[in-house]
Amino acid sequence: MPWWGWLLIGIGALIVGFIAFVVIFGRKMQKKQADAEQQMEAAKQTVSILVIDKAKKKMKESGLPESVLAQAPKYARNMKIPVVKAKIGTRVMTLIADQGIYEILPVKKTCTVAISGLYIKELKAVRGGSVPKLPEKKKSLAQRLREKAAARQQ
């Protein structure tokens, strides 16, 4: 067998090994995420908060406690996260919001939310109004063309 044949076999073996590693690692990470989600659901509390401000900031600049920053992975410290500054009772706290909740959370209004630690999981009610819904995502060109084709067939 020529040398390039052995080279192709070696590269194929490396690719198969890499794919197996990614699959096994992915399953472990999914299990960890599911466990963390269960723990957050168990620790969830319903609280009334006054939203003072909301912004997307880097974790270092967000004003979160040092213990939270120490637990975060190094790559996540420079990522922008949705941060909400809210008054809970008499205390002003910095909280992290779920991405979908962050978009619909009204500023300068009192809201009833489900909180798990420093993480806002769910918006339950807004004082003086109804809970806003998530804005619809803009449809892609392919989706619009499929809808037009389906409408023509009918």
- Residue 135 reports pLDDT greater than 90: no
- Residue 131 reports pLDDT greater than 80: no
- Residue 60 reports pLDDT greater than 80: yes
77-100 residue pLDDT tens = 888 999 999 999 899 999 999 888
Q: Characterize the bridge pairing of strands 80-88 and 45-58.
A: antiparallel
Residue whose pair of structure tokens reads 């489900």 in the numeric block: 114
For residue 117, give the DSSP letter: T
**Per-residue confidence band for 21, with pLDDT thresholds at 50, 70 and 90:** very high
